[in-house]
Amino acid sequence: MLIVMELTATPDQIHHVVRQVENRGYTAKKIPGGERVSIGVLNNKGAVEKALFMGLSGVKEVIPVTRAYKQVSREFQPEDTVITVGDAVFADGHFPIIAGPCAIESVEQALTIAQAVRAAGAVLFRGGAYKPRTSPYSFQGMGLDGLKILAKVREKTGLAVTTEVMDLETFDAVEEHADILQIGTRNMQNFSLLKRAGKARKPIMLKRGMAATIDEWLMAAEYILAGGNTQVILCERGVRTFVNHSRNTLDISAIPVVQKESHLPIIIDPSHAAGRRDQVLQLSRAAAAAEANGIMVEVHHDPDNAASDGAQSLYPEQFEILCRQVRAVFCSYEHTGA
Amino acid sequence: MLIVMELTATPDQIHHVVRQVENRGYTAKKIPGGERVSIGVLNNKGAVEKALFMGLSGVKEVIPVTRAYKQVSREFQPEDTVITVGDAVFADGHFPIIAGPCAIESVEQALTIAQAVRAAGAVLFRGGAYKPRTSPYSFQGMGLDGLKILAKVREKTGLAVTTEVMDLETFDAVEEHADILQIGTRNMQNFSLLKRAGKARKPIMLKRGMAATIDEWLMAAEYILAGGNTQVILCERGVRTFVNHSRNTLDISAIPVVQKESHLPIIIDPSHAAGRRDQVLQLSRAAAAAEANGIMVEVHHDPDNAASDGAQSLYPEQFEILCRQVRAVFCSYEHTGA
Amino acid sequence: MLIVMELTATPDQIHHVVRQVENRGYTAKKIPGGERVSIGVLNNKGAVEKALFMGLSGVKEVIPVTRAYKQVSREFQPEDTVITVGDAVFADGHFPIIAGPCAIESVEQALTIAQAVRAAGAVLFRGGAYKPRTSPYSFQGMGLDGLKILAKVREKTGLAVTTEVMDLETFDAVEEHADILQIGTRNMQNFSLLKRAGKARKPIMLKRGMAATIDEWLMAAEYILAGGNTQVILCERGVRTFVNHSRNTLDISAIPVVQKESHLPIIIDPSHAAGRRDQVLQLSRAAAAAEANGIMVEVHHDPDNAASDGAQSLYPEQFEILCRQVRAVFCSYEHTGA
Amino acid sequence: MLIVMELTATPDQIHHVVRQVENRGYTAKKIPGGERVSIGVLNNKGAVEKALFMGLSGVKEVIPVTRAYKQVSREFQPEDTVITVGDAVFADGHFPIIAGPCAIESVEQALTIAQAVRAAGAVLFRGGAYKPRTSPYSFQGMGLDGLKILAKVREKTGLAVTTEVMDLETFDAVEEHADILQIGTRNMQNFSLLKRAGKARKPIMLKRGMAATIDEWLMAAEYILAGGNTQVILCERGVRTFVNHSRNTLDISAIPVVQKESHLPIIIDPSHAAGRRDQVLQLSRAAAAAEANGIMVEVHHDPDNAASDGAQSLYPEQFEILCRQVRAVFCSYEHTGA
């Protein structure tokens, strides 16, 4: 951390800052510049909180240098974390495709879609049982019955299944029925939930918060690793910006940045990024081209009558084309990953 | 809701859309324009989900008209909701000032600050017991011991107290000890928590999500009202934008917009918006000038040694000036509110 | 356009709005809903300005339906505009790669880089002669001498050349020397410049403004077409968001949206989106996968000593890999475009 | 500037960075931390370009310390720049109110509004002659005839006048007729225009770009000061964010930040920030409460029939209330400014 003093900072102010740094147990190193003094904060284990020094008098700016995350960092673990769930392998040169409806609506719906997406090439089935909905008056998901349908899908199709977990009360049930537990964008910084996920025996798919920086996202993952669960898959699903032609703005740069900073796999959710069917194919191919570690796509056999998010769900025949094209793209260039 | 068809939409496509609207139980009304057909969706109770029609073929755009929220709406209840907690009155021409440290650190710290802010004019005491922290390695709050200190502050100073509630597990304890329960920005769409808040017997202060639209924020409040708790205070605390000179960007327009759309009171948290002490006074006066229903300010008697967020905490003597100036501003113009 | 009235709107207010619509020369059509009245505005040629009606009393909201652009619209011209410049073909199944340094620094520098990028597969050379720089104290480009070097590059290598035009005073000179004229992100709504570009006899590459919606971008292009120049190439170069790990956030969705709304070709500038070398390859492949109509990449043979933007310039050997991979990606899937 | 090396940086890489720093004419100072090496860049006159070092191998991050602006900085000139135009004084404890229509439409319109706003307390008249319009088909302003009307308004009412200048071609005419020249948000980084403004003999009002950081805004002002014109008034008019209930998001924090960083006055344009009449009063009072150096407000005597932006224009009677309330707010607290 670098503490930059005002041009007009007095020796007393500088001295006070140095003392504060030392009081917190760090080493302070004065760096006299041409015009102003800066103070380096050294020998810190982990990140130092910026707020500790920003308000001291004579301080112009405080510039963090060390990242606050540890276990998720590639500096901590240089080799990729490879996560295997059923037939899906995240990282290690694979590109698993997860697919299924926004919400589980019935056994028939789930099985119909699961068989279609498996035939097209999906290796994991997704489907919401507990649904976070903006409106209290919208369909909130089938709950436990939905979880049981997911288990039946796995039994009948052999596909592993993933679904969202929303709270501590239903965590055990979701952990029992699903193979990967999703933590949604609205819960990325639900720290109580993250702590529980750190105790889970199943991999966690951690979606990026709607307006989270990569630092904040990795810190959220750090909560899970710090709790003892090292099986975390990051999922970029678009961020909120001024742009209004897609529901969110897919941040493609997040792929190389996360892969450089962290050893955890990162997948893309093009359906929630786009919010509309007619952008999903292009975003999916872009994800494959940017060397993401997989994608998760919404598919529905009858989207016009879907219980939720029909507008962004692909028809099975569109999904088939998507699978073919996405694989072709992913295989067309030499990979740099482990 | 208005469904705008493509210029090239065929009569069959138009007919299919009309049928879909009617299948969902609404009335469809064709509106032939000069160039293209639009279809109005009428006789809906509450909002219609845009996604239901956006993916139909021949549809160019779907434009929602009715808001999805009901009970929070001023069309539902024209007169202001006035919430009284101890000496604080939210709405009805009052401007209560809530103040206290970011986190409760000890009985002495809490009482020292509480006495100082009460003397300056605060009518409610704030202090975190359970702290949502970006890093799992940061101080997470004193928990139940913190709640007990809050109760002691109330007993000794007569100030009502407010603190954040983070999850279902600790909800009962917070509800027992605090007079107003805060739901933080990261939990604005933690729907399980919102449902529990709807059953609480205490007022809820609902902070705006970091990247929430006002519609989403009011929908989150709707969850609480729909659960039976009509005592909701909205709290604007800045939103995330590209701007980097303050921690968040305070959205002053939210005040008139919320007051027009809803009957619920809205207060401002200038400390979290700014993220640094030297903007708090200006933002607080701006809040008073824009006719907010109160503010909540972080104050610490020894911010250099605070356990968290010291950089944005005011010194007691700065807070005294703030109280004086903010009241002067609030009283200087004729109010338009109820 | 749809004018939505307040629930409480009086017959007089509704009548006044209808009269205002008719005074402006349009047809007003009342649409009684279950709860409130809306008024459709019909028989407008082109878009109606929202502001004309939004302030009338009793009006809750004004919702535009028709887009304001005409000639750039795919409804106006269904088939793709194909632009050919030297060996580069924008649209029609091609994927031209434009490459070169940020700024022209000398004949030797320009020729060295031009030969390298031509050998790797670039079909157009870029290089700034007039440079828009944030600081008045930064290198402002070689000006006319830079233009002459560009002409020499074309003569020696056979590559067509593109460079930025910044103002009316230097427009003629740039038009004389360059094959494609770039209008930069900071000038996207410099309407005087756009009008002059409408009179130019060379194709214009119109970069998206840093915070422009696609509507605004297409309206800027409309200025050029309305002036008589139909040769416009749109260039997405990232938009400004809260995200801080890349200089801008590349908006991949802009590709399918622009291609749906407009007949103009759209290319991607991954270098300015990323702002750093180590994301350029991934973004370039993503652009090819999303079926952009080309890319423009910064390359420098000695970026450590470049006069500007060295950090985002690729080394020639990196560019060679990029060309190979990007072409492989572009050819790996079936195209949907014309 | 601080160059942070990777944990894995080799001595050779560190040595190469040091050499590059020295080649550029600066002093390099190695700062060994607990874990990694950082390199301070010292003895730079003015800011160092981040891009020069960010791409070097072994470099993790480059953190600028010194601001790039000089003459606009309060470190360069500690006392406020006070700008006096007619009866308006920007800074020095004053709060001038500028008012008038979006566009000049006729002599009668301009005089009617000018007399009304003068009576209410405005000290400067605004009105567009050359209008930057998103659409080429919208009213583009009266041009030179508009300028002449402005001159007539000054003659008849005694009010000084301000209007926008859009390009080099019409600069002389605007400079001749207006007392303050506005550079609009879309031209904030039109560097050719800024250079010409540096030669102007009239004060310049520089509006903040729609997505400009304060650094970029002050750098744009630096262009004008570097050209020789020290009379610059900054105008905050809202920035583009995800928020959609106002046309832009007014950044109130910009006031204290600019006043801390720079000696130039800063005023607020609440009309363009809001984009709708019913937020203007609240934003204006907030500006006064945050100690801005003035405001500029759109007023029209017949906004329903205005040629542009009617929805955000106040009626004269609303403006009268605004003037009264804004002055009351501004006078209600002790000022900290010079």
| pLDDT tens, residue by residue, B198-212 | 999 999 999 999 999
Q: Which helix (H) or strand (E) holds C83?
A: strand C83-85
**Residue of C69, C244, C252 to mutate, testing the A interface (most A Cβ within 10 Å of its Cβ):** C252
Q: What pTM, to 2 d.p., does this model score?
A: 0.93
Going edge to edge, which strands form the sheet with C27-32?
Answer: C27-32, C37-42, C2-5, C59-63
- Distance separating alpha carbons of residues B112 and D140, to the nearest angstrom: 62
A33, A45, A66: residue with CB nearest D42: A33
Provide the number of CB pairs (under 8 Å) joining chain A to chain D.
Answer: 46
Nearest one of B175, B170, B214, B147 to A191, comparing CA atoms: B170
Higher pLDDT, C255 or A43: C255
pLDDT, tens digit (0-9, with 9 covering 90-100), for C114-147: 999 999 999 999 999 999 988 888 888 999 999 9
How many angstroms separate the CA atoms of D29 and D13, rounded? Answer: 15
pLDDT tens digit sequence for D253-263? 999 999 999 99
Contact partners for chain A, using 3 or more CB pairs closer than 8 A, are B, C, D
Contact D311 C186 (CB under 8 A): no
pLDDT band at residue D46 using 50, 70 and 90 as cut-offs: low
The matching CATH number, chosen from 2.130.10.10, 3.90.1150.10, 3.55.40.20, 3.30.70.1140, for A2-63 is 3.30.70.1140
Q: Do D55 and C313 touch (CB under 8 A)?
A: yes
Residue of chain C nearest A326, judged by CA positions: C333
Paired strand residues for B286: none
| Other beta carbons less than 10 A from residue C332's beta carbon | 21
Confidence of residue B99 (pLDDT cuts 50, 70, 90): very high
Q: Which chains touch C (3 or more CB pairs under 8 A)?
A: A, B, D
Q: How sure is the predictor about C34, in pLDDT bands with cuts at 50, 70 and 90? A: low
DSSP β-ladder status, D27-32 and D83-85? unpaired
Mapping DSSP onto H, E and C, the string for C104-161 reads CCCHHHHHHHHHHHHHHCCCEEECECCCCCCCCCCCCCCCHHHHHHHHHHHHHHCCEE
Please indicate whether residue A29 or residue D280 has the higher confidence score (pLDDT): D280
D63 interfacial to chain B (CB closer than 8 Å): no
CB contact under 8 A, B65 and C33: yes
Q: Which residues of chain A have pLDDT under 50?
A: 338
In the structure, what pLDDT confidence band is assigned to residue B338 with cuts at 50, 70 and 90? very low
Which residues in chain B touch residue D256, judged by CB atoms under 8 angstroms apart? 278-279, 282
pLDDT at A338: 42
Contact criterion met (CB below 8 Å) for D311 and C52: yes
β-strands C37-42, C2-5 pairing: antiparallel
Q: Establish if B34 touches chain C: CB-CB under 8 angstroms.
A: yes
Task: Say if residues A179 and A86 touch (Cβ distance below 8 Å).
Answer: yes
Say yes or no: D256 contacts chain B, CB-CB below 8 A.
Answer: yes
* Residue B325 sits at the chain C interface (C-beta within 8 Å): no
Lowest mean pLDDT among A270-284, B101-115, C55-69, C115-129: C55-69
Residues 6+ apart with CB under 8 A from B111: B152, B153, B156, B157
* Residue D47 binned pLDDT confidence (cut-offs 50, 70, 90): low
Q: How big is the CA angle at B295 (ends B290 and B301), to the nearest 5 degrees?
A: 140
Q: Pick from C261, B242, A152, A117: which is nearest to D240 by CA?
A: B242
Residue D338 clears pLDDT 60, i.e. is over it = no
What is the rounded distance in angstroms from the CA atom of residue D202 to the CA atom of residue D225?
12
pLDDT averaged over every residue in chain C? 93
pLDDT at C338: 41
> CB of A246 within 8 Å of any CB in chain D?
no
Check B65 against C7: CB less than 8 A apart: no
Which of A1, A2, A76 would best serve as a mutation to test chain D binding (most D beta carbons within 10 A)? Answer: A2
How many angstroms separate the CA atoms of C315 and C309, rounded?
A: 13
Q: Looking at residue A34, what is its pLDDT?
A: 64
The confidence score (pLDDT) of residue D37 equals: 83
The continuous run of DSSP H or E covering B271 comes out as helix B270-274
Please compute the mean of the pLDDT values over residues D40-54 and round it to a whole number: 74
List, for residues B214-225, the tens digit of each pLDDT value.
999 999 999 999
Query: Is C257 an 8 Å CB contact of chain A?
Result: yes
Distance between start and end Cα atoms, chain A: 32
CA neighbours closer than 13 Å in the CB half-sphere of residue C87: 14
Chain D residues touching residue C50 (CB < 8 angstroms):
311
**Does the beta carbon of C216 lie under 8 angstroms from any beta carbon of chain D?**
yes
Q: How close, in Å, is residue A3 to chain D by CA atoms?
A: 10
Question: How far apart (Å, rounded) are the C-alpha atoms in residues D247 and C124?
Answer: 40
CB atoms within 10 A of CB B38: 22
B264-297 burial, b at 16+ Cβ within 10 Å, e below that, comes to bbbbbbbbbbbbbbbbbbbbbbbbbbbbbbbbbb
* pLDDT at residue C42, as a whole number: 77
* In contact, C316 and C115? CB cutoff 8 Å: no
Question: A275 vs C49, which has greater pLDDT?
Answer: A275
**Helix (H) / strand (E) containing D144:** helix D144-157
Asked whether residue D75 carries a pLDDT value surpassing 80, the answer given is yes
Residue in the block written with tokens 């003892």: A228
Nearest CB neighbour to C4, from listed B4, B31, B65: B65
Which of the four pLDDT bands, split at 50, 70 and 90, describes residue C46? low
- Residue A47: the pLDDT is 65
Asked if the C-beta of D218 comes within 8 angstroms of chain B's C-beta atoms, the answer is no
Q: Specify the amino acid at residue C116.
A: A
CB–CB of B286 and D291 under 8 A?
A: no
ipTM score: 0.92
Q: Stretch D138-158: mean pLDDT, rounded?
A: 96
Residues of chain C neighbouring D1 (CB-CB closer than 8 A) = none
Q: How many CB pairs under 8 A join B and D?
A: 123
| Cross-chain residue pair D190–C191, CB shorter than 8 Å | no
What are the start and end residues of each CATH 3.30.70.1140 domain in chain A? 2-63
Interface check D195 vs A, CB under 8 A: no
Q: Which residues in D lie closer than 8 A to residue A37 (C-beta atoms)?
A: none
Q: Which CATH class is domain B83-331?
A: alpha beta
> What's the 3-state SS for B164-227?
ECCCCCCHHHHHHHCCEEEECHHHCCCHHHHHHHCCCCCCEEEECCCCCCHHHHHHHHHHHHHC
Residue B286 C-alpha, separation from nearest chain D C-alpha, in angstroms: 4
Where is B126: in which H helix or E strand? strand B124-126
Beta bridge partners of D261: none
Question: What share of chain C in percent tops pLDDT 90?
Answer: 74
Contact between B251 and D238 under an 8 Å Cβ cutoff? The reply is no
User: What local confidence, expressed as pLDDT, does residue C29 receive?
Assistant: 82
For residue D174, the model assigns a pLDDT of 98
pLDDT band at C309 (very low <50, low <70, confident <90, very high): confident
Which positions in chain D touch B256 (Cβ < 8 Å)? 278-279, 282
Q: How far is CA B207 from CA B189, B256, C300, C313, in A?
A: 10, 17, 49, 44
Residues of chain C numbered 135-154 and touching chain D (CB < 8 Å) = 135-138
B157 or C52: whose pLDDT is higher? B157
* pLDDT at res. D49: 75
Q: Quick check: A63 and D63 CB within 8 A? A: yes
Closest CA in chain D for residue A42:
D33
User: CATH 3.20.20.70: which residues of chain C?
Assistant: 83-331
> In A, which residues are within 8 Å of C274 by CB distance?
253
3-state secondary structure of D244: coil
Express each pLDDT in C152-193 by its tens digit: 999 999 999 999 999 999 999 999 999 999 999 999 999 999
pLDDT (0 to 100) of residue B46: 63
Find where tokens 């008019």 sit.
D237
What angle do the packed helices C316-331 and C280-289 form, to 10 degrees? 20
Q: What is the pLDDT of residue B311?
A: 83
- Candidates D239, D232, D253; CA nearest to D209 is D239
pLDDT of residue C47: 65
Give the residue from chain C lying closest to D170, CA to CA.
C192
CB-CB contact of B62 with B47 (8 Å): no
Minimal C-alpha gap between C294 and chain A (Å): 14
The CB-side HSE value for C38 (13 A sphere, CA atoms) comes to 27
Q: Is B127 helix (H, G, I), strand (E, B) or coil?
A: coil
- Rounded Cα–Cα distance for residues A284 and A273 (Å): 10
Tell me the nearest-neighbour CA distance from B269 into chain A, angstroms. Answer: 17
Task: Give the minimum alpha-carbon distance from B151 to chain A in angstroms, rounded to a whole number.
Answer: 24
Q: Mutation test of the interface with chain D: which of B214, B236, B252, choosing the one with the most D Cβ atoms within 10 A? A: B252
- Sign of the CA dihedral running B285, B288, B293, B294: positive
